[in-house]
Chains A and B, each alone.
Chain A
Amino acid sequence: MIELHSIRKAFNQGHDNEYWALDGIDLHIEAKKVTALRGPSGSGKTTLLTIVGCLSRPTEGRVRLLGEDISGLPERFLTEIRRRRFGFIFQQFNLIRGLAALDNIILPAYPTGRPRRELLDRAEELLAGLKLGHRRHAKVEWLSGGEQQRVAICRALINDPEVLIADEPTANLDTHLAGEFMGILEGLAAQGRTILLTSHDPLVVESAVVQRVVDMRDGKLLSSPR
C-alpha cells in the first residue's frame, strides 16, 4: 500500500539547530493491516506519520502510494490525496470548538461539495455505529474525552478513506476507554482499512488487533518486525 524508501527528514535545515528527525527509513506498510510504530519519545514516530499521511514532505527519499511516487507532488495534489485516502485521529482530537458533533464530522467533506443531506446521513450512521447518536447536536467541548475521540474517529471516516492514521490514540484515555478504543479499532480493521498508529501503550502494541509493530529509535527503524 505505502512504501517508504530511504526517508530522511530534517527540521530547520541549513540552520544551527538543524535536526534530522528521521534518518533513513525503509518501510512497507501493508494494505488492510494494523501497523503500530513504537519507540521512545523523540524517536520520530509522529514525524513519520506526517510523511505517510501527506501532511509533510520528506527532505530526502521517496514515498509511494499504491505504486505511485507521491513525494514530489505539489501541495494541491497532496491535499487531495490526504482528503480522499487518509483519515486522521489526532492525539488532541483537534475538533473545532463551538460546532456540534455532526458539523465537526462533515468538515473534511466540504471541499468535495457532496450534498449536505448525504453527508449528514453518513455522519449520523457513523455516530450511531459508535453509540454516540444521542450526542450528535452537542457542542464538542461539552463531550467527554472518550466521546470526543469517537467524534474524531467519525470525522476521520466521513470521506471513507482506505488508510487511518492515529497518533497516540490512547494517550488521553483511561484503561477502560482505551479498551473501548481497541474494540473500535478492531471493527475498523475488520472493515478492511489500513491502519497506522503510534503508541507507547502496551495495551495497544501488545493487543491482538495490532498485526505488526515497528520499533523506532533516533529516527531509525530497529528491524524486528513481530
Chain B
Amino acid sequence: MKLWLAKQRYLIDFTLASLARRKARNLGLLFVYIVLVFMLASVTLYTHALRQEAARVLAASPEVILQRMVAGRHDLIPPGYQERIGRIRGVQKVEGRLWGYYYDAVTKANYTFMVPAENAPAAGEIIVGPALERARGLAKNNGISFRSYSGKLHTFIVAEVLPQASELVSADLVLMSEASFRAFFDYPAGHYTDIALSVANPLEVRNVAVKLAAALPDARPILRDEVLRTYASIFDWREGIVLALLSAAILAFGILAWEKASGLSAEEKREIGILKAIGWETGDVIKMKFWEGLLISLTAFLIGFVAAYVHVFHFSASLFEPVLKGWAVLYPRFQLTPHIDGVQVATLFFFTVVPYAAAVLVPIWKAAITDPDSVMRS
C-alpha cells in the first residue's frame, strides 16, 4: 500500500513536470475546458435556482385561484359571486383579491398593483418592491405620483420598501389599500380581480376544482400545482435550448481532446518509448497519463464550477439573461438564492469529465503499448 502510494506520487510528479514542460498547449486545453464547464454549470445552476425560486414563491400562494371568464377572457368577479360558491368541503377560506398591472411610462416597466390580504397600508400610502426602489429612486416617506388609466394623477407616500426575500416576483409590487386601488383603477365597488381559495388537504384540490367548475360554469379554477408544472416546463424548455447549443460545444471539445491526445506529439511518443525501455510498465505509462487527465479535468471542473457559481449567484448570470429570463417581467439585478445540488454536480461532472477521459484513453493506450525496442533506432 505504502509502495503503491509512493509509486503514484512519482507518476504524479512526472506528470506535473510534463505538464509544465508543455505549458502553452496544456494551458490552451485547460482554458477551453474551463469555459465549457463554466457554461454548462452556469446553465444548470441558474435554471435550478430559478425553479427553486418559483417553487418558493408559489408555496406562499393559494391552492386554487378562480377567474371569471367572459368570451374566453379574464373578467372581473361581480358582486354576489363569492356567495354562489357557497360551502365546499375542504375549502378553508374564500377571498376576493384585487390586483392589476400598471405601465409606468417613466421607467418603461410594468408594476403589479395589489391590495394585500393583511396589513394593507393606510389610504394614500403604498409599499413598494425593491425594483421600484431602484428604478424610481424611492425611499421611505417619499412621495410618488402615478397617472391612472383615466388620466388623473394620484399621489402616494411610500410607507415601506419590501425586503429582497424573493425578488423574482415581489420586485415590481406596489401594495396599497382597497380604497386607493378602487379609486386608481376605477374599480366598481363589490367587484374583484379574482378569488383565492385555500384548501388544506392537497388531495382535495382536484375535487374542489371539479365542484367549482360545476357551480360556476363561467369560471376557471387555476391550480397551484399546475402553475408550478407550467413554470417547470418553461424552465426545462429554456434549459433544453441552451443545453442543445452547449452540446455542440461539448462535441467540439471532445474533438479537441481527441486531437490533443491522438496527436500525441512525436516528442511525447518518444518519451513513452524511453520510459518503457528504462523499465516502466505499460500500466505505469497509462497511469501516468491517467493522472495527467485527472489533474486537467479536475482543475478545469473546479475552476469552471466555482466561476459559474460566482457568475450565477453574484453576477445574476449576466451572460445568460437574454435567453433565460426573457419570459416574464423580471428585473435585472435580482439575486438568486445560492443553492447547490449534489446530483446536479455529479451529473455535470459526468458530462464533462467522462467524455474527456474517454476521448484521450484510446490514443494513450495505443502509444503506451508500442514496443520498447523502438528507442534503440532513432
Which A residues lie at the B interface, using CB under 8 A? 46, 49-50, 55-56, 75-76, 79-80, 82-84, 88, 90-92, 94-99, 103, 107-108, 110-116, 155, 159, 167
Kindly state whether residue B275 has any CB partner on chain A within 8 Å.
yes
Which B residues lie at the A interface, using CB under 8 A? 3-4, 6-7, 10-11, 14, 17-18, 21, 267, 270-271, 274-284, 371-373, 375-378
Q: How far is the CA of A90 from the CA of B375 in the complex (A)?
A: 8
A95 CB to nearest chain B CB (Å): 8
B3→A113 contact, CB < 8 A = yes
A79→B279 contact, CB < 8 A = yes
B21→A159 contact, CB < 8 A = no
B267→A46 contact, CB < 8 A = no
Instruction: Choose from B4, B18, B376 the contact partner of A49 (Cβ within 8 Å).
Output: B376
A107→B17 contact, CB < 8 A = no
Q: How far is the CA of A111 from the CA of B267 in the complex (A)?
A: 22
Q: Can you identify 16 A-B contacts, CB atoms within 8 angstroms?
A: A55-B373, A56-B373, A76-B283, A79-B276, A79-B280, A79-B281, A83-B279, A90-B375, A91-B376, A99-B17, A108-B280, A110-B10, A111-B279, A112-B7, A113-B6, A115-B6
Instruction: Choose from A46, A113, A116, A155 the contact partner of B376 (Cβ within 8 Å).
Output: A46
A98→B278 contact, CB < 8 A = no
Q: How far is the CA of A90 from the CA of B373 in the complex (A)?
A: 11
Q: How far is the CA of A123 from the CA of B280 in the complex (A)?
A: 18
Q: How far is the CA of A221 from the CA of B66 in the complex (A)?
A: 104
Contacts of A108 on B, CB cut-off 8 Å? Answer: 278-280
Instruction: Choose from A99, A113, A115 the contact partner of B4 (Cβ within 8 Å).
Output: A113
B274→A113 contact, CB < 8 A = no
Instruction: Choose from A88, A99, A115 the contact partner of B278 (Cβ within 8 Å).
Output: A88
B271→A96 contact, CB < 8 A = yes
Nearest chain B residue, comparing its CB with the CB of A46: B376
Q: How far is the CA of A80 from the CA of B278 in the complex (A)?
A: 10
Known A-B contacts A97-B267, A103-B17; the reply to A92 vs B278 at CB < 8 A is no
Q: How far is the CA of A96 from the CA of B21 in the complex (A)?
A: 11
Known A-B contacts A83-B279, A88-B277; the reply to A110 vs B14 at CB < 8 A is yes
Other than A82-B277, A111-B280, give 14 A-B pairs with Cβ distance below 8 A: A50-B373, A55-B277, A55-B372, A55-B376, A56-B371, A79-B372, A82-B279, A83-B278, A90-B277, A107-B275, A108-B279, A111-B284, A112-B7, A155-B278
Instruction: Choose from B10, B17, B21, B378 the contact partner of A92 (Cβ within 8 Å).
Output: B378
